[in-house]
């Protein structure tokens, strides 16, 4: 346990570093990640061409053209849920959208917090 009764851990050690030291450590971690990616590509990338049983996989052909609009997901000119809000899918998407932006919405302040 460290001085304030809290165990010394990675978070407290990270917070104790200066911003220059944190930046240097971050750069070193990124460099190590890139090097490990290169080593994997040199040593193990052949595994991408085979399935778990050792049979050679056929490369997947990507389509030449992918339509911008979907037949199954409602679209509008602004790429958000449009005129199909009455459908079950549209209502589900609207509820999900409300849940995702709930914390970011502006809210009216309580009476005691209102400016005078």
- Give yes or no: residues 51 and 77 share one domain: no
Q: Is residue 92 part of a domain?
A: yes
Q: Is residue 1 part of a domain?
A: no
Question: Which pLDDT value is given to residue 106?
Answer: 74
Q: Is residue 31 exposed (0-12), middle (13-18) or buried (19+ Cβ within 10 Å)?
A: exposed
Task: Give pLDDT tens digits for 67-87.
Answer: 777 777 666 655 555 566 778
Q: Is residue 50 part of a domain?
A: yes
Token pair for residue 75?
A: 């679209």
Q: What's 84's DSSP letter? A: T
Can you tell me the mean pLDDT for 80-108? 75
Q: What is the pTM of this model?
A: 0.38
Q: Is residue 113 part of a domain?
A: no
Task: Give pLDDT tens digits for 7-30.
Answer: 556 677 777 888 888 889 889 999
Q: Is residue 26 part of a domain?
A: yes
Provide the CB-side half-sphere exposure for 29 (13 A, CA).
6
Question: Which pLDDT value is given to residue 37?
Answer: 95
The boundaries of the domain holding residue 36 are 21-55
> Can you name the residues that pair with 4 across neighbouring β-strands?
none
Q: Are 94 and 81 in contact (CB under 8 A)?
A: yes
Q: Is residue 35 part of a domain?
A: yes
Find the angle CA(21)-CA(22)-CA(27) to the nearest 5 degrees.
95
Question: Which pLDDT value is given to residue 1?
Answer: 43
Q: Are 85 and 94 in contact (CB under 8 A)?
A: yes
Q: Is residue 27 part of a domain?
A: yes
- With a pLDDT cut of 70, the percent of the chain lying above it is 79
Question: Which pLDDT value is given to residue 32?
Answer: 96
Domain count along the chain: 2
Q: Is residue 114 part of a domain?
A: no
Q: Are 90 and 74 in contact (CB under 8 A)?
A: yes
């Amino acid at each position: 346990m460290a001085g304030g009764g809290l165990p010394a851990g990675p978070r407290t050690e990270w917070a104790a570093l200066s911003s220059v030291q944190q930046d240097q450590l971050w750069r070193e971690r990124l460099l190590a990640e890139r090097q490990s990616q290169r080593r994997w590509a040199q040593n193990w990338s052949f595994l991408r061409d085979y399935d778990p049983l050792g049979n050679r996989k056929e490369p997947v052909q990507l389509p030449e053209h992918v339509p911008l609009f979907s037949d199954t997901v409602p679209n509008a000119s602004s790429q958000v849920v449009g005129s199909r809000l009455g459908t079950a899918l549209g209502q589900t998407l609207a509820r999900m959208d409300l849940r995702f932006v709930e914390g970011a919405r502006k809210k009216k302040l309580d009476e005691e917090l209102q400016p005078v």
